[in-house]
Structure 1
Amino acid sequence: MAPSVMEAMKPYWLTHFMLPGQGHPHAQAVGEALENAREGVALLAGCEPFEIVFTGGGTEANNLAILGLLASQPAGHVLVTALEHDSVLGAASSLVPKGWEVETIGCDSDGVVDPEVLAAKIRANTKMVCVQLANPVIGTIQPVRDIADLCHNRGVPVHCDATQAFGKMPVDVMTLRADTVSISGHKFYGPKGSGALYVRRGLHLSPIGFGEPREMGLRPGAENVPACIGLGAAASLAARCAGDVEVGIGDLRDYFSNGLISTLGDKVSIVCEDSIRLPNTMAVEMPGDAKRIQRAARQLAIATAQSDSPPDEITRALRAVGKSSAQIGRTIRLSLGWTSSRDQVDRAIELLADAADGIVAA
């Protein structure tokens, strides 16, 4: 977490340990702070505060968007892209035993979903389309606005999982035009277990959990007040510097990828290198086994595919762009943060080159 986020949260664990909604001044003060945090998230997302529902993270936000809209409707057809997060795929799949049909739309080899291909799959009984904004593995950005326009012309609502994009690039939900948009706090230096769902004004969702109604009746039980405060503080921080972050980290990512290619030559390749991508994320196909490189370069927090059946998030994304099992086994995922430096990137290139050379030599 960002230090300023931690400082903002501290009083709500200790001094201000009250729940909002009660009549006495102490609770009212907490309620005011919670609404200020909501305003911070709304500022980041480009919407009105009353369109923001606090959740326990991006996973809950995705579940609330999908099941909150669909669970009380007659069974129909749902379209999801092959690049979606487990929480989107799982929530949609949970409807299948109730008679729903869930259809998956692929992407091209550049990691992008074609809006016209998706639109051609819309049926008379299609009740929702789910399309993420940015992929956490290959980094590709989807044309959400174009997809949303095509869907809305057919009367179909759109859910967008934008958890990977906030804090790394400017995101405006009015520009996206999706009906619901998920946000996750720990993706931009907020606390883990904090998140929010943008719900377009006028759209009706049903709660998916039950108890004392909070968050406009969509979430039961006591709010995790410190997490909400932390999310608001992180959102305000991200809103102030999103444009600078996008350019600065994007330049550093290109420096990183160019350095790897310069050092290892055609032994490495950047997955979906020519696509519009997140400024901080790279999937790199290396010359040897990814897990061995992960162990050899243990100073780096490298992600690799963990399972093939059922496929994990990395495997699914790489399969979606046409990578073979052998290529997936050689691919690592790397990401940069706001505080990453050229010196760190130079050291990372050195560690990866040494690991790759050691594997090739063996």
Structure 2
Amino acid sequence: MVCIERLAGLCPPDDVVSPLLVCSVLSLPYSPVIYLDFNRTTPMAPSVVEAMKPYWLTHFMLPGQEHPHAQAVAEALENAREGVAILAGCEPFEVVFTGGGTEANNLGILGGVDRSERGHVLVSTLEHDSVLGATAHLAELGWEVESVPCDSNGLVDPESLGRAIRSTTRLACVQLANPVLGTIQPVREIADICHSRGVSLHCDATQAFGKMPVDVTELRADTVSVSAHKFYGPKGSGALYVRRGLSLRPISFGEPREMGLRPGAENIPGCIGLGAAASLAGRCAGDVAASIGDLRDHFAYGLLSSLGDRARILCLDSPRLPNTIAIEMPGDAKRIQRAARQLAIATAQSDTPPDETTRALRAIGMSGAQVGRTIRLSLGWTSSRDQVDRAIELLADASDAASAA
């Protein structure tokens, strides 16, 4: 098991402990529920909470105030920016703090084009609601928005996207990792094709940071989104990487901050928390990916061993996040979810309008019946082998009960 604070000195490097002991070390409430929905959100790491505390009560000033205490806050804010930059593999001046991944996606998309023009935008069918909402707004302004499909393995083909580029194409939007399928897109190849045709690329990487090493200079996207609560930071805090030299326009207005791209008082505790979470994730992202990848494989093959050919792991042969399993079960997913009450798992929520899970499953060609049998499992830094083994038993029993119903 990976200890969330291993490199903060709270756990020995090779310690393998129970969930109860982990919760004790991290001062988290222990719950008998086995949480398997880390792609949705994560708990805050205690070191992140501690880093944020002084900026609510003691160091509550804003960076622009002209006295020494405010200068200390400004320095802390820039240290947090540097922490995000180190995690992302960029320079601090390329990091713009935002109110989360949704705002980062909106700023990268709507701020990355001249909205007074009428151009063409490409967007993959796997994108988050915030990306689809921002591009839908462009469509309302007269832009032509074209969907780029993925194949049955959950991957966007760079050459197919390249063939869809027109003389009027200004922007393409392709995520790095999908939270439902776990698939990792060939963003670098897509970026090279886009740039060779004079097209900018926005990449939503919110599901990748903290789960795998990410270097934005290697991705070559022009803008890349970050969300703190996906890797043990606070909700409502995020960032946008903006490639040096790129001209971006603000999408809201007021007192100019964050290089003129985001008005209003900064959420100082949230920014500090993002920086602390980024520093923690940056120190152990490689170890986390390897350890959780082994645990994910144990989980997947344990399920297949219990359920046999009645179950199917989706996108098994594609590059995937090390923590994510999407599996088509023998029984109705909602019934399985209700029967396995000790497990926190994700299923498709609605077909009208389709939620993110439904859209991803439909994008790889699944029928409505197949979507209704599919669950998503996502592991986290505190997931253990004991939890996984128990989850396999519970899912197998719940599946049998759902199939018999």
**TM-score (normalised: structure 2):** 0.89
- Contact 1:76–1:127 (8 Å) recurs in 2: yes
Q: What CA distance in whole angstroms lies between the structure 2 residues aligned with 1:361 and 1:62? A: 44
Q: Moved runs in structure 1, 4+ residues, more than 6 A?
A: none
Q: What CA distance in whole angstroms lies between the structure 2 residues aligned with 1:40 and 1:224? A: 16
For the aligned residue pairs, the C-alpha RMSD in angstroms reads 0.8
Q: Which residue of 2 aligns with 1:168?
A: 211
1:96 pairs with 2:96: no
1:257 pairs with 2:300: yes
Q: Structure 2, unaligned stretches of length 5 or more?
A: 1-43
Q: Which residue of 1 aligns with 2:102?
A: 59
Amino acid at match of 1:277: R
* SS across alignment from 1:182: strand
Q: What CA distance in whole angstroms lies between the structure 2 residues aligned with 1:218 and 1:276? A: 34
- 1:326 is aligned, of 369, 375, 381, to 369
Amino acid at match of 2:382: T
Q: Which residue of 2 aligns with 1:347?
A: 390
- 1:123 is aligned, of 134, 154, 166, to 166
- Contact 1:40–1:235 (8 Å) recurs in 2: yes
Q: Which residue of 2 aligns with 1:205?
A: 248
1:71: how far off? 4.4
Q: What CA distance in whole angstroms lies between the structure 1 residues aligned with 2:116 and 2:79? A: 34
- 2:258 is aligned, of 195, 210, 215, to 215
- 1:151 is aligned, of 194, 197, 204, to 194
Q: What CA distance in whole angstroms lies between the structure 1 residues aligned with 2:238 and 2:71? A: 23
1:310: how far off? 1.7
* SS across alignment from 1:356: helix
Q: Structure 1, unaligned stretches of length 5 or more?
A: none
1:141: how far off? 0.4
* SS across alignment from 1:318: helix
- Contact 2:112–2:249 (8 Å) recurs in 1: yes
* SS across alignment from 1:13: helix
Q: What CA distance in whole angstroms lies between the structure 2 residues aligned with 1:72 and 1:114? A: 28
1:77 pairs with 2:120: yes
Aligned pair count reads 362
Amino acid at match of 2:368: S
Q: What CA distance in whole angstroms lies between the structure 2 residues aligned with 1:231 and 1:71? A: 30
Q: Which residue of 2 aligns with 1:294?
A: 337
* SS across alignment from 1:69: coil
1:69: how far off? 1.4
1:278 pairs with 2:313: no
Q: Which residue of 2 aligns with 1:337?
A: 380
- 1:311 is aligned, of 339, 349, 354, to 354
- Contact 2:115–2:141 (8 Å) recurs in 1: no
Q: What CA distance in whole angstroms lies between the structure 1 residues aligned with 2:90 and 2:401? A: 51
**Higher RCO, Cα 8 Å, sep 6+:** 2
Amino acid at match of 2:381: W
Residue deviations 1:264-295 (CA, integer Å, cap 9, x gap):
11111111111110001111111111111111
* SS across alignment from 1:167: coil
- Contact 2:332–2:403 (8 Å) recurs in 1: no
Q: What CA distance in whole angstroms lies between the structure 2 residues aligned with 1:5 and 1:99? A: 43
Amino acid at match of 1:250: G
* SS across alignment from 1:27: helix
Q: Which residue of 2 aligns with 1:356?
A: 399
What is the 5 A alignment of 1:184-199?
184-199=227-242
* SS across alignment from 1:277: coil
Amino acid at match of 1:308: D
**TM-score (normalised: structure 1):** 0.99
